[in-house]
C-alpha cells in the first residue's frame, strides 16, 4: 500500500510540474497605462507562459479573443500577431484597437504582449483592462 501511494504521489507531482504555468502577477507587474480620458489612453502588458509552444498558445489566444467578443481585423500565425478591435458605444464610429503578439521566448516559454488603445473621450478602467489582459494571457495554458 505504501509503495502504491508513493508511486501515485510521484506521478501526480511529476504531471503537475510539467503543466503549463502562467503568473498573473507578472501580467499585473508589467501593466502600464499612459494618456488621459481627454487625449486617449494606451494600455500595455506582457507575460511569459512556461511549458506551452508558441503556435499552440497563438491558437488558444485567437479563440479566446473571438469568444470574448472582439472582432479580429487581421492575423498572421507565422508572425504571431493578432489585430482586433471593438466598436465604442456612443462613439460615433470610433473603435478601440487591441493588438496581441505571441512569440517564442526560450526552450519552453512563450511571451504574450498586449496593447489596447482608446481614443479621447472613451473610458476604460485600469482594473477592467488588467482583468481582460491577464485572462487573455492565461488562455494560452
Which domains are present in the chain? 20-138 (3.30.530.20)
Q: Which residue in 45, 137, 114, 122 sits closest to 91, CA to CA? A: 122
Taking only the tens of pLDDT, the chain with its 141 residues reads 444 433 333 333 333 344 446 667 899 999 999 999 999 999 999 999 999 999 999 999 999 999 999 999 999 999 999 999 988 776 566 789 999 999 999 888 999 999 999 988 888 999 999 999 999 999 998
pLDDT of residue 22: 62
Question: How far, CA to CA in Å, does 133 sit from each of 61, 99, 130?
Answer: 11, 11, 5
Q: Which residue in 62, 53, 65 sits closest to 106, CA to CA? A: 53
- Under DSSP, is residue 129 helix (H, G, I), strand (E, B) or coil? helix
Place of cell 488558444: 60
The C-alpha cell that represents 112 in the structure block: 504574450
d(C-alpha 47, C-alpha 3), whole Å: 40
Please tell me the pTM assigned to this model: 0.81
Amino acid at each position: 500500500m505504501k509503495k502504491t501511494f508513493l508511486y501515485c504521489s510521484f506521478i501526480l507531482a511529476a504531471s503537475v510540474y510539467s503543466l503549463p504555468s502562467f503568473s498573473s502577477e507578472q501580467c499585473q507587474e508589467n501593466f502600464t497605462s499612459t494618456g488621459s480620458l481627454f487625449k486617449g489612453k494606451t494600455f500595455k502588458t506582457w507575460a511569459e507562459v512556461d511549458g506551452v509552444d508558441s503556435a499552440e498558445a497563438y491558437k488558444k489566444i485567437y479563440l479566446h479573443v473571438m469568444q470574448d467578443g472582439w472582432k479580429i481585423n487581421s492575423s498572421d500565425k507565422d508572425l504571431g500577431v493578432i489585430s482586433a478591435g471593438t466598436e465604442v458605444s456612443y462613439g460615433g464610429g470610433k473603435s478601440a484597437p487591441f493588438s496581441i503578439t505571441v512569440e517564442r521566448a526560450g526552450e519552453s516559454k512563450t511571451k504574450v504582449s498586449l496593447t489596447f488603445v482608446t481614443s479621447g473621450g472613451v473610458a476604460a478602467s485600469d482594473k477592467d483592462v488588467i482583468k481582460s489582459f491577464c485572462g487573455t494571457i492565461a488562455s494560452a495554458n
